[in-house]
Amino acid sequence: MTDVIDEQKDFGFARVYGIELKYSKKPKLDRDLLYAKMEAYTGQVEQSATGDNKDPKLAVWEANEAEEKEMLHFFHLNYQVQYTDGAIPAQTSLMEVDHRSADQYATAIQQAWHWPEAAQALEGCHYSLMLTDLMSSGLEPKARLQLLTGTLRAILETAPCEAIYFRESDKLVEPGAYLAAVEQGAILYGAMNIRFYNVEGTGSGRREGLMDSLGLAALGIPDVQCHFYDLEPGEVAGQLTDIAYYLFDQGDIIDDGETIGFTEEMRWRCEHQYALAAPHRVVLDIDPGEPYYAGRQGHAE
């Protein structure tokens, strides 16, 4: 088991996935509404494991009133994870966690190109809930993210928050924008962060950049990365997003040395490497060809 865990850490895989919901004040959770939303997005709901429903699709455990912090634990009976000794339901938990100030999200704020008001929104937050999944890492990536997305949607539509922080992608998203994106099919909107870094001090004398995705490796799929000269960051971001969605839809099916392209002119060579930018994880490095590539495919350490 230790070898398996070490291998997953080396890849960047998240055995437990975390999503933080940031509030200006403590939210009031309407249990009936929450369970109705859960039923709509994750399957038929039973409020306890001993109810009258003979074929429940979701069971809920609630912390008793004596508990200091609120906690709900969901058993998603229609998301079964197969193990050697049998199947168990995937689970998610919603719990109160200690609040963290805005300066604790510095790296996410630095890469929040999609939401310039992220820091300001965090400054107004004083309460946090954490959504995590448990015993769910054995699900296929699509099913796992589908479950997390459905659960998160149910919570947001029950108790709207001011900001959402995806721990595995180090990404802050505006709740309304997230719900709109998911509704339009952009399921990776929060789970994947496209990051950009200006690379300086290499002596190349050229405009050098590094762009990567963060979040796919946590689901068991390589992230994507491109180290380049003189390309427009917006165009590279669009290409990496398309490639990332292709990997998410099809799986890790691109072999080292193969090329990928969405036009006749675009033939970018691919190779699995370790990421140039933290955290440590496996990425699919993309070579846009001469004179644009600034990396070293074939020399990954």
Q: How confident is the model at residue 202 (pLDDT cuts 50, 70, 90)?
A: low
Of 107 and 8, which is predicted with more confidence?
107
pLDDT the model gives residue 65: 55
**256 and 268 Cβ atoms separated by less than 8 Å:** no
Count CB neighbours of 291 within 10 A.
9
d(CA 130, CA 18): 7
Q: Spell out the alpha helix ranges (H) of the chain.
A: 2-11, 31-42, 106-110, 118-123, 141-158, 175-183, 233-250
Residue 193 three-state SS: strand
Task: Please write the tens of the pLDDT for every residue from 29-60.
Answer: 998 899 889 888 987 544 444 444 445 566 77
Task: Please write the tens of the pLDDT for every residue from 146-201.
Answer: 999 999 999 999 999 999 999 999 999 999 999 999 999 999 999 999 999 998 76
Place of tokens 């789970």: 191
Q: Percentage of the chain surpassing pLDDT 70?
A: 85
The widest CA-to-CA distance across the chain, in whole angstroms, is 71
Residues whose CB is less than 8 angstroms from the CB of residue 270 and which lie 6 or more positions away in sequence, other chains included:
254, 255, 256, 257, 258, 259, 260, 284, 285, 286, 287
d(CA 173, CA 142): 20
The bridge status of strand 223-229 relative to strand 282-287 is parallel
d(CA 263, CA 222): 23
Residue 274 three-state SS: strand
pLDDT the model gives residue 244: 96
Any bridge partners for residue 127, and if so which? 23
